[in-house]
Amino acid sequence: MSSLDRLFAKLRQQGRKALMPFVTAGDPDLGFTAELIGELEKRGAALCEVGFPYSDPIADGPVIQASYTRALAHHIKVPAIFDMLRDVRSRVKFPLVGMVSYAIIHRHGPAAFVQHAREAGLAGLIVPDLLVEESSELAHLCREADLSLVQLVTPTTPRPRAVQIAQSSTGFLYYVSVTGITGERDRLPPQLLDDVRWLRSQTELPICIGFGISRPEHVQLLAPVADGLIVGSAIVRRLEQATSRPRAEVIREIGDYVASLVAALPGASE
């Protein structure tokens, strides 16, 4: 079992759900990212998704695009991200998952990237622009390295294809809650619960829902059908303040926000 398999098996046994914050590596710098990841674990996050900055966003809304741009403006490089993750991994217990474009993996060489990801302590990779039909090589490399390869299902994915994606994914399945780009939303689609219930009937993989989740009421709505909830833009939006306010203060406020979402999860007060 991978570390993600063990995490979700333990949570299911305890009747609990995972909150998975997303942070951009290197915004405003890698030292801040490392501190923030440690704070997120202390505040009850079950795992953390770390975004590798990329110049050509795939499904990222303006908030995460701007965050990636800020990080790239400081010349953040992949080897430096791996060094930061390796250091953080020695100090946190929860799993870290990389969100990375396949263009970055291809440029570094899939075998080398997977090896470095594993050495840095990543538990898995989310590769949003990797087609399931073209995933066999990376999937094989990840299996050999005991690294989960998480793939995405969207509201517009045809159901036969969604089953195919679920069959090729490991660790968990990332369900995109809305059609469109990342970003905070006031309301989530009314058919979302039914769509996730159907997907759950097709796979035993844990299902984590992302895109648009930003409020405790979103967590309360989706937790009954999900194994985990991913929160990105609402956290990343606060990173911009790290250059104009005391860093410790920004980290504490992000921690308070994440703790409020964790508190909305079933079993959080037990």
**Phi, psi angles (nearest 5°) of residue 39:** -65, -40
Q: Is 129 designated active site? A: no
Residue of 134, 140, 172, 162 whose CA lies nearest to 1: 172
Q: Is 60 designated active site? A: yes
Q: How far apart are CA 24 and CA 71, in angstroms?
A: 8
Determine which one of 41, 60, 195, 227 is catalytic: 60
Determine which one of 29, 39, 49, 227 is catalytic: 49
C-alpha distance from residue 83 to each of 5, 72, 98, 114 (Å) = 25, 17, 13, 14
Q: How far apart are CA 230 and CA 261, in angstroms?
A: 11
Residue of 100, 87, 14, 24 whose CA lies nearest to 56: 100
* Tokens 């009954």 -> residue: 224
Q: Which residues are catalytic?
A: 49, 60
